[in-house]
């Protein structure tokens, strides 16, 4: 039996939980299932119940919950031996201030980034150029901490001219495109802030990023995520550096939601065939 918790994939049994928690009937379905399709916004409670059931599960979110946030991902890149900017992890603002109490002491060469652990789409990302910009970032992080959201990273600045390569992993496929700054000097680049989507620029570097993203998938089992890379463009033959993994990501760079769900449906069918189940038993609704 195939069980789907995804609202867009109908199969033998489809359960749309919405905001409610798993009940005894849901848990029985999980125990009876041979394959389970999860939603992209899957809570840890559901993933944990499915991952220990013995069923095959798509997508795999083991790494998402094992290495949470930017602090977790920086450890993941280190543990798996992937190139990434030098990154330090901080539990609290006070911990940082005790490590660097002097007004001219910084954890990296200037400029460098400070990134809130759990924010997305460049919210909570600061480029630190001097003490005033550092103090502004720390004030923001102290407010986050007081609201129950502690933790941040400091990260080496890579001279990428604001260009970020995104490689989207969907099943066994990798799709790349650039997020490029709309104006010169823009170092924090996101699509939500008006970045230009460029699928054609620097195809050789796109291929390098794609290779690394699929290697990440092979090593970790990640099969639905958007991976961001930066390149030190001042070098003659730059290599991709892992910035972060986004398990929730926009779809404009993939051609919109309709195109995305078409790619995801193909990935689900490929996965079902790989585990010996009927790919035609799932319908995209």
At which residue do the structure tokens 């991976």 appear?
A: 227
Instruction: Determine, yes or no, domain membership for 129.
Output: yes
What confidence tens digit (pLDDT) does each residue in 161-196 have? 999 999 999 999 999 999 999 887 777 777 766 789
Same domain for 66 and 206, yes or no, is yes
> How much is the pLDDT for 193?
67
What span, in angstroms and rounded, lies between the C-alpha atoms of 202 and 169? Answer: 19
Q: Any residues with CB less than 8 A from the CB of 263 and at least 6 apart, and which?
A: 170, 171, 173, 175, 254
What confidence tens digit (pLDDT) does each residue in 183-240 have? 877 777 777 667 899 999 999 999 999 999 999 999 999 999 999 999 999 999 999 9
CATH number for the domain that contains residue 93:
3.30.1490.20
Q: What is the mean pLDDT of residues 122-133?
A: 91
- Domain region containing 115: 86-156
Same domain for 149 and 240, yes or no, is no
- As a whole-number percent, the residues of the chain with pLDDT over 70 amount to 98
pLDDT range class, residue 118, cuts 50, 70, 90: confident
Same domain for 164 and 242, yes or no, is yes
């Amino acid at each position: 039996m195939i069980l789907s918790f995804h609202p867009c994939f109908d199969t033998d049994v489809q359960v749309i939980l919405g905001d409610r928690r798993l009940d005894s009937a849901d848990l029985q379905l999980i125990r009876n299932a041979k394959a389970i399709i999860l939603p992209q916004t899957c809570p840890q409670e559901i993933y944990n119940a499915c991952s220990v059931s013995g069923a095959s599960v798509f997508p795999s979110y083991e790494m998402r919950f094992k290495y949470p946030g930017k602090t977790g991902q920086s450890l993941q890149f280190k543990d798996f031996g992937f190139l990434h900017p030098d990154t330090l992890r901080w539990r609290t603002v006070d911990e940082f201030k005790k490590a660097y109490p002097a007004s001219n002491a910084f954890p990296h060469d200037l400029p460098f980034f400070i990134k809130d652990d759990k924010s997305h789409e460049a919210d909570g990302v600061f480029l630190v150029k001097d003490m005033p910009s550092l103090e502004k970032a720390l004030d923001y992080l102290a407010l986050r901490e007081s609201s129950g959201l502690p933790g941040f990273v400091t990260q080496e600045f890579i001279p990428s001219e604001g260009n970020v390569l995104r490689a989207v992993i969907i099943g066994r496929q990798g799709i790349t495109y650039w997020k490029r700054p709309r104006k010169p000097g823009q170092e924090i680049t996101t699509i939500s802030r008006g970045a230009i989507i460029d699928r054609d620029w620097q195809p050789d570097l796109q291929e390098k990023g794609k290779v690394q993203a699929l290697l990440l998938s092979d090593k970790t089992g990640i099969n639905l995520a958007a991976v961001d890379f930066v390149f030190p463009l001042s070098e003659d033959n730059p290599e991709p550096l892992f910035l972060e993994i986004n398990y929730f990501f926009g779809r404009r760079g993939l051609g919109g939601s309709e195109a995305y769900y078409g790619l995801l449906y193909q990935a689900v069918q490929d996965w079902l065939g790989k585990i010996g189940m009927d790919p035609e038993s799932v319908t995209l609704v």
